[in-house]
Amino acid sequence: MARHAGQLPQSPVRHVGQLLEVSASSQDAGGLNRGTESLMKIGVVFPQTEIGADPAAIRAYASGAQKLGFAHLLAYDHVLGADPAVHLGWDGPYDVHTTFHEPMVLFGYLAAVTSMELVTGIVILPQRQTALVAKQAAEVDILTRGNFRLGVGLGWNAVEYEALGKQFSTRGVRLTEQVMLLRRLWTETTVTHEGEYEHVTGAGLAPAPVQRPIPVWFGASSEPALRRAGQLADGWFPQAPPGPKLDWARSIVEKSAHESGRDPGTLGMEGRVSWKPGQTQQLVTQVNQWREVGATHVSVNTMGAGLGSVEAHLMTLHEVAEGLGLKSR
């Protein structure tokens, strides 16, 4: 990288780090225990669709983000992109030309580069083999010394499901069984499971992860997905900003948690804010709005703003970090 993150220009945006306290706690299984104070954790969304495939660029970005004081790095997941020339009328946000790194392999590399928490946001779990995900996640957890959250969700791209040999229409019910099996594989030496979709006979994985079990967070927007989050998740990624839509989604998650005998206060919640040119102060305000609604985490997304290079993304994150009052490392 041509320019060190510490040499980036200063921003006039005022610090609001003192505003970022929430009535949260030390993390327990990726969720929240009441009664102690902690800071809302602010991370970054890995801009993989824009910085290319050069390992040096990946390393520079992760190292730079950590030095600026960000707490975690979140990566999206797509195994394959659809070819619009074949799938006529394709209107998905990504296609065959969009760059995506496989998150588990990426995190194996990043574990040697950064001490930030690594987060999948999200892995499309029902299109993957459950036992293999359990093994990969356990390995990432070991390499990060227990500084890993596994975010999972259903996805929307039937083209990927077909190519990976998994059924698209049953993805919701399969995810529920998968999460239950994942937790058994992470916490039991040997597992026998005979489910509707998953079958394991007297088998286990070693070495075991550091976190037993690894925190599983859900991406959710539909009502069934929100109910599943309340029933099973350690935390969730809302797909709406603070306001009426978030209130609606949260009410479903909390009701489902209550009905399942769980305390909704133990669930983490991670918001996402997107940077736009000339709008760093607006982003700071949005982060504070997430704080006010009790988010435990927020991620800053710098994709889609025409930045392109690693240097440009880090320059922007420097301005954002200064505005948020983050302490450089």
Tell me the average confidence (pLDDT) per consecutive run of 10 residues in the chain, 329 residues long: 34 32 35 50 97 96 98 97 96 94 98 98 98 98 98 96 97 97 98 98 98 98 97 98 98 98 98 98 98 98 96 98 95
In a domain, 20, yes or no: yes
Backbone angles phi, psi at 304, to 5 degrees: 80, 10
**Where in the sequence is the domain holding 17, given as residue range(s)?**
5-324
Q: CA 269 to CA 290: how far, in whole Å?
A: 9
Whether 106 and 58 have beta carbons less than 8 Å apart is answered as yes
Domain count, the chain: 1
Bridge partners, residue 194, by sequence: 199
Residue 282 pLDDT: 98
Distant-in-sequence, close-in-space partners of 274: CB < 8 Å, separation ≥ 6: 283, 300, 301, 302, 303, 304, 305
Q: CA 46 to CA 101: how far, in whole Å?
A: 10
Backbone angles phi, psi at 134, to 5 degrees: -60, -45
In a domain, 219, yes or no: yes
Residue 38 pLDDT: 53
In a domain, 117, yes or no: yes
Q: Which of 118, 109, 113, 184 is nearest to 150 (CA)?
A: 118
In a domain, 17, yes or no: yes
Q: CA 63 to CA 5: how far, in whole Å?
A: 9
Distant-in-sequence, close-in-space partners of 76: CB < 8 Å, separation ≥ 6: 45, 46, 48, 100, 103, 121, 122
Please say whether the dihedral angle defined by the alpha carbons of residues 159, 101, 290 and 7, taken in this order, is positive or negative: negative
Q: CA 226 to CA 239: how far, in whole Å?
A: 10
Residue 10: CB atoms within 10 Å: 8
Q: Which residues of 245-276 are buried (b: 16+ CB within 10 A; e: fewer)?
A: ebeebbebbbebbeeeebebbbbbbbbbbbbe
Calculate ∠ Cα 232-235-237, nearest 5°.
115
In a domain, 264, yes or no: yes
In a domain, 329, yes or no: no
In a domain, 147, yes or no: yes
In a domain, 34, yes or no: yes
Find the CATH number of the domain harbouring 38.
3.20.20.30
Burial of 194 (0-12, 13-18, 19+ CB in 10 A): exposed
3-state SS assignment for residue 74: strand
